[in-house]
Amino acid sequence: MARTVKRAFKFRFYPSDVQAEQLSRTFGCVRLVYNMALQARTEAWTQRQERIGYHATSALLTGWKKTADLAFLNDVSCVPLQQALRHLQTAYVNFWAKRARHPHFKSRKRSRRSAEYTASAFRWRDGRLTLAKMTEPLDIVWSRPLPQGCTPSTATVSQDAAGRWFVSLLCDDVIAQTPAAGTVGIDAGLDSLLTLSTGEKITNPRHEHADRQRLAGAQRDLARKQKGSANQAKARINLARIHARIADRRRDHLHKLTTRLVRENQTIVIEDLAVSNMVRNHRLARAISDAAWRQFRTLLEYKTVWHGRDLIVVDRWLPSTRLCSACGAITQKMSLHVREWTCPCGSRHDRDVNAARNILAAGLAVTACGDDVRPQRGTSRTGQSSAKQEHPRATKGIPIL
């Protein structure tokens, strides 16, 4: 069995001076059109209570190109400008659906430098990509081959803060969905990045911690430079390269880890962590951000869909750490420094392994009876069982391991 999915392949490329100048001009025009369209839509609502959509902003763009002040918009391809308006429309749709905040203006210094080209704005021939308004193809470093017979539908060119150029090719890819028999529960942590219900612990590489001295030195060097000087620009790029190195290693490690988990297991159970709330703890915020639990979950979500796997997310209030996986008893409190504990029934548990086993049991209960694995408040937060709940896990339909 196979599944056809939209998949983006990202490659680094090295533009010539002429291509770099053309792309930089395109980035600026894309940002300008986006901001002007956002301003027009905002004023239409605040002044006239009128909602204008993509077609209205597209008509405005045609008029802007005919003015003397904005005639330079004709020097770049019109497709990235139209795509910027479509992205703004998508941002508004997400805002109206309460999935995101109101769109904000793009900053020249802080916003992402990118431009999206559809199939009508580039030429793909014999594995060579030539963008509109350019005569020479891009010098792409093909770190991996594209799928056999693949033709890109869109090409997104971007430049990161470290000055590196990337092109992302969106293609239709066929992924074989082979069955797997394994089931695993995963507990995320800091001492160990992940602890599996099988007892395996995956070491936390702590990428940011490994480069912390280099990062601090680069930040001090940047702080000493005069604002607006060429040396400040060089120091900023040096700092961005260190950040990019950390992010690249973290992303590579998570990709390899999630791919392995998806290939080996049919059912994967994780915990719903409120990472945005957890990073408010200033003592652990840096370590939690370095662990990238949110990114790990995002990778798992789309890879399980690609490969036909089941991803179950149990409720964050499940007392997985304090719940004995042998008898179901719940301890009163457990500090973070307690890594092993003994239940009154005599079972001795590793804190993280016990939590992973409870998460797996809760996930299996979801598949068996549709349970939402949300424990009662009195049981999950105080550790006290109610009179009607003699066994906290049996009542919720969670199997006893």
Is residue 289 in a domain? yes
The residue count for the chain? 401
Given pLDDT bands bounded at 50, 70 and 90, which one contains residue 20?
very high
According to the model, what pLDDT value does residue 178 have? 87
C-alpha 380 chain-centroid distance: 30
Is residue 228 in a domain? no
Query: 283-314: per-residue pLDDT in tens?
Result: 899 999 999 999 999 999 999 999 999 999 99
Instruction: Say if residue 366's pLDDT is above 90.
Output: no
Q: Compute the Cα dihedral for 373, 376, 380, 383 and give only its sign.
A: negative
CATH code where residue 334 lies: 3.30.420
State the pTM of this model: 0.84
Specify the number of domains making up the chain.
2
Both 158 and 114 in one domain: the answer is: yes
Give the residue, 363 or 131, on which the prediction is more confident.
131
Tokens matching residue 18: 């002429």
Is residue 215 in a domain? no
Both 196 and 124 in one domain: the answer is: no
Both 194 and 87 in one domain: the answer is: no
Both 195 and 90 in one domain: the answer is: no
Average pLDDT over residues 186-204: 93
Is residue 237 in a domain? no
Both 191 and 334 in one domain: the answer is: yes
Domain end (from 142, 176, 210) = 176
Instruction: Say if residue 398's pLDDT is above 50.
Output: no
Domain end (from 176, 211, 239) = 176
Given pLDDT bands bounded at 50, 70 and 90, which one contains residue 386?
very low
Is residue 210 in a domain? no
Tokens matching residue 375: 């424990």
Q: Give the span between the Cα atoms of 81 and 34, in whole angstroms.
A: 8
Query: 241-270: per-residue pLDDT in tens?
Result: 999 999 999 999 999 999 999 999 999 999
According to the model, what pLDDT value does residue 395 have? 31
Residues 356, 187: contact at Cβ < 8 Å?
yes
What percentage of the chain exceeds 70 in pLDDT? 92
Given pLDDT bands bounded at 50, 70 and 90, which one contains residue 8?
very high
In 3-state terms, what secondary structure has residue 329?
coil
Mean per-residue pLDDT over the chain, rounded: 88
Query: 226-239: per-residue pLDDT in tens?
Result: 999 999 999 999 99
Both 191 and 285 in one domain: the answer is: yes
Both 194 and 121 in one domain: the answer is: no
Average pLDDT over residues 170-195: 91
According to the model, what pLDDT value does residue 114 have? 96
Residues 23, 115: contact at Cβ < 8 Å?
yes
Is residue 325 in a domain? yes
Full residue range of the structural domain in which residue 85 is found: 2-176
- Catalytic site residues? 187, 271, 352
According to the model, what pLDDT value does residue 230 have? 95
Both 274 and 389 in one domain: the answer is: yes
Is residue 284 in a domain? yes
Q: Give the span between the Cα atoms of 19 and 126, in whole angstroms.
A: 20
Query: 86-140: per-residue pLDDT in tens?
Result: 999 999 999 999 999 999 999 998 899 999 999 999 999 988 999 999 999 999 9
According to the model, what pLDDT value does residue 318 have? 84
- DSSP label at residue 146: P
According to the model, what pLDDT value does residue 341 have? 75
Burial-class residue 244 by CB neighbours within 10 Å (0-12, 13-18, 19+).
middle
Most confident of 326-330, 333-337, 379-383: 326-330
According to the model, what pLDDT value does residue 397 have? 35
According to the model, what pLDDT value does residue 376 have? 35
Both 14 and 158 in one domain: the answer is: yes
Q: Give the span between the Cα atoms of 292 and 197, in whole angstroms.
A: 20
Both 270 and 152 in one domain: the answer is: no
Is residue 292 in a domain? yes
Given pLDDT bands bounded at 50, 70 and 90, which one contains residue 370?
low
Both 93 and 128 in one domain: the answer is: yes
Both 193 and 124 in one domain: the answer is: no
Instruction: Say if residue 60's pLDDT is above 80.
Output: yes
Burial-class residue 385 by CB neighbours within 10 Å (0-12, 13-18, 19+).
middle
The label of the residue with tokens 């789309």 reads 302
Query: 130-182: per-residue pLDDT in tens?
Result: 999 999 999 999 999 998 888 999 999 999 999 999 999 999 988 888 888 89
16 closest CA partner among 130, 155, 151 = 130
Residues in contact with 174: Cβ distance below 8 Å, sequence separation at least 6, in sequence order? 2, 3, 4, 147
